[in-house]
Amino acid sequence: MSINPFEDFIKFISDKHGEENWVTAYKHESINNSAHDGGMYCALVTQENTEKAMDQPDWDLMIGSGGPGFCISHEAGEKATTYYTNPDEGFLRLVLNRDFHGRKKDYIEILEEFRLFHNLYYEIKNNSYISFDNSGDEVEVIKATNNEVKIRRRFLRSFMAAKQMNLLLYFELTRHFEHREIFSCDQKNGTFTYTIYSGDSYSDGFLSFSRILGKKLIFCEPVEKSDVWPFERDKEYQEFIIGGDSDEPQKFTCNPDLLANYFGANSDAPHYLTPVFFRTEVMQKYYGSSEYEIEDSYLRRRGAWSLRFDNNSQNHISVFLGDLGKDLPEKEQIYWKSFNLVPDGRKISRTNFERSFMGNFYDPENPEHRFKHKYKEIQKYWKQKYRWQLFLPLYEKDEHFLGSLRSMLTNEQSEFDSQVLALTKVTIDSVNVKSLRSYLGISDPNIKSISLVEELLRQLQSEHLVALTSLLRGIQSVRSTGVAHRKGTEYEKTIVKLNIDTEDYRSEFDQLLLGMVYLLDEIIKLDTSKSQ
C-alpha cells in the first residue's frame, strides 16, 4: 500500500490551519517548474449552506470571480435578465483578486464590509490594515501581498460571530515526483473533507504528481462573542495600593462600580476619590511620544482616552482610585501599577484640593504648567497687539521641544541637559529677531536674540533688567558649554557661576522655569502699563 504523500500537510490543515494567530486567507504558489504548487482561499458561508458545502471537497468559489453582474435564465420559455450584487449566493469572499488581463497590474482587495466593521486603516507603506486597541496602540489586522493574505484570527472570528456565518478554508497542493507516484484517497467528516489523486506531471523534470484538494470548516461563535458594541467583553480592573506600608500594602480594585461614593453605594469600600500615588517617572512614556498631550491636570492620547490626574506635586503623581478604573484602558492600568507608591504621608496638591473638593478656580503650582500657560499668554498678547509673535512658531520637527518641556521627572544629568535644550529652543532660539529688531529700531545685524530681549526690557524700563538678562545668558551658557558640546571646565564654571546645585537638578530646573515665567510676565505687565 502506498504511503500518503500528504500526511504532513493533512496534519497541518487539521491541527493548525485557521487556529493560528494569523489565518491564511489567500495564498498562491505558481508552478515555476518546481516540486510543488498550490494555493489557499477562504469564504464565509451561511448556516443554511454549510452542510451542503462540506458534502464535497471541491471549492465552492473560484479565485478571480465574484463581482456583481447580470444573469440570464429561462423560465416557461421566457428569458429573464437579473442583476446580482453577489452572485456567490450563500457565500461571502473576504479576499477579492482583481485581474485586469494584462492591461494593469493585478492586486488584492479586502472585503469592504470587513474593513468597515473593524474600522481598519490602510497603511500603504507596508500594504497592511491596522486597527487601534482601547489604549490607542496600533494592531496589525491584515498583512497582504500579491501572493498571500493573512488575517489576525480574533478579528476574523469577531466578524464571523457578528455575521453568524461559518468559515470555509479552501486548500489545494500539488507535489511533483521524479518517480511514478500513484495514490488516491477521499476523506470526509463534519469539519474536514479532501480528495487526493495522481497523474502525469506538468512540471519540467518530473514524472508524476499527486494533488490534494479540499476544505476545512470553522464554526462561528455566538454573536455575543463578537467583542464589539453592544457585546464588548467586560473590562478588567487592576488593584492599586491605597494604604498600609511597603511590608503590608493595602490594595483595592479601581473598578468604579465597586467603590463608595457620595450617594451611598458600597459604603464599606474605599471612596471613589481615594488618592493613589505614583512615581513621577510614570510620565516619561507620555512625554516621550507626540501621541500624548499633557496639560495641567489632564493626560490625553488623541482619539483614544484621557485621564484626569494631579501633576501639580513636585515628587509624585496622584490619581483618584475611581478615575484609574473609569479612564485608563487595561494596558495602561498595568503600566501605571508598576509605578504605584505606598501613600506614606503623601498628599494631593493644593491645586487639586481646591479644584476637586472646594470647587474653586486655582492656578497651577507646577512650574511646567505655569511656564506653558505664560508662554501661550504672551504669544497671544503680542500677536493681538502687534500682529506678530514674540517667539517664532516652532517648525514641525521641533514642536516636540515644547511638548516635552517639563519639570524634571528624575534627578539625572541627561534629563537636565535635554530640558535645558528644550527651554532654549522654545525661547532664546525662537525669538522673532527680524520683527523685534524692527520694533526696537535697531539696524545692527550683529545684535541677536538675548541682546534684543535685553533692549526690550530696557525700553520697557524694567527694574529687573540685569537679573532677567543674566537668566537668559545663564541658560544659553549651560546649553552652549555643556548640552550642545562636550562638557569641560567652561561648563563647570557656568554651573558654579549660576549657583546650580548638581545634587538637585530637579529643583534647579524648576527655578529656571519660574525665572522664565517672571520674565514673560514682566514683559506683558510693563508693555500693558506703557499702553495705558
How much is the pLDDT for 500? 85
In the chain, count H helices and then E strands.
16, 23
Given a contact cutoff of 8 angstroms between Cβ atoms, the answer to whether 388 and 382 are in contact is yes
Q: Looking at this protein, which amino acid is placed at residue 414?
A: S
Beta bridge partners of 391: 431
Return the SS3 of 362.
Answer: coil
How much is the pLDDT for 87? 80
**Range name among 147-161, 176-190, 444-458, 470-484 with the lowest pLDDT average:** 470-484
- Does residue 52 register a pLDDT over 80? yes
CA of residue 259 relative to chain centroid, distance: 30
How much is the pLDDT for 57? 97
Average pLDDT over residues 258-279: 96
Q: How confident is the model at residue 30 (pLDDT cuts 50, 70, 90)?
A: confident
Average pLDDT over residues 430-451: 94
pLDDT in tens, 377-429: 999 999 999 999 999 999 988 999 999 999 999 999 999 999 999 999 999 99
- Does residue 268 register a pLDDT over 60? yes
- Does residue 90 register a pLDDT over 90? yes
DSSP percent split of the chain into helix, strand, coil, nearest 5: 35, 25, 40
- Give the whole-angstrom CA distance, residue 187 versus residue 56: 10
Q: Rounded to whole angstroms, what are the CA distances from 66 to 92, 111, 243, 318?
A: 9, 11, 63, 57
pLDDT in tens, 68-79: 888 888 888 889
Looking up cell 478554508, which residue turns up?
A: 169
- Does residue 330 register a pLDDT over 70? yes
Q: Is the peptide bond before 275 cis (omega within 30 degrees of 0)?
A: no
Count of beta carbons in the 10 Å neighbourhood of residue 30: 10
How much is the pLDDT for 75? 83
Given a contact cutoff of 8 angstroms between Cβ atoms, the answer to whether 192 and 14 are in contact is yes
Q: How confident is the model at residue 166 (pLDDT cuts 50, 70, 90)?
A: very high
369 CB-contact burial (10 Å; exposed 0-12 / middle 13-18 / buried 19+): buried
From the list 162, 158, 208, 166, the residue with the least C-alpha distance to 191 is 166
How much is the pLDDT for 485? 62
**Range name among 28-32, 63-67, 155-159, 427-431 with the lowest pLDDT average:** 63-67
From the list 25, 36, 359, the residue with the least C-alpha distance to 160 is 25
Count of beta carbons in the 10 Å neighbourhood of residue 296: 18
How much is the pLDDT for 78? 87
- Give the whole-angstrom CA distance, residue 115 versus residue 108: 13
Residue 99: CA count within 13 A, CB half-sphere = 8
Phi-psi sector, 344: left (phi>0), alpha (psi -120 to 50), beta:
left
Q: How confident is the model at residue 511 (pLDDT cuts 50, 70, 90)?
A: very high
Q: Is the peptide bond before 256 cis (omega within 30 degrees of 0)?
A: no
Q: How confident is the model at residue 484 (pLDDT cuts 50, 70, 90)?
A: low
Global confidence as pTM: 0.84
How much is the pLDDT for 227? 93
Q: Looking at this protein, which amino acid is placed at residue 274?
A: T
Return the SS3 of 139.
Answer: strand
Count of beta carbons in the 10 Å neighbourhood of residue 62: 10
Q: At what angle do helices 449-459 and 505-531 cross, to 10 degrees?
A: 50
* Mean per-residue pLDDT over the chain, rounded: 93
pLDDT in tens, 5-25: 999 999 999 999 999 999 999
- Give the whole-angstrom CA distance, residue 268 versus residue 350: 28
Given a contact cutoff of 8 angstroms between Cβ atoms, the answer to whether 420 and 479 are in contact is yes
- Give the whole-angstrom CA distance, residue 462 versus residue 471: 14
From the list 442, 403, 447, the residue with the least C-alpha distance to 426 is 403
Helix (H) or strand (E) holding 47: helix 47-53
Dihedral (CA of 374, 379, 385, 390) sign: positive
Pairwise pLDDT comparison (101 vs 375), residue with the higher score? 375
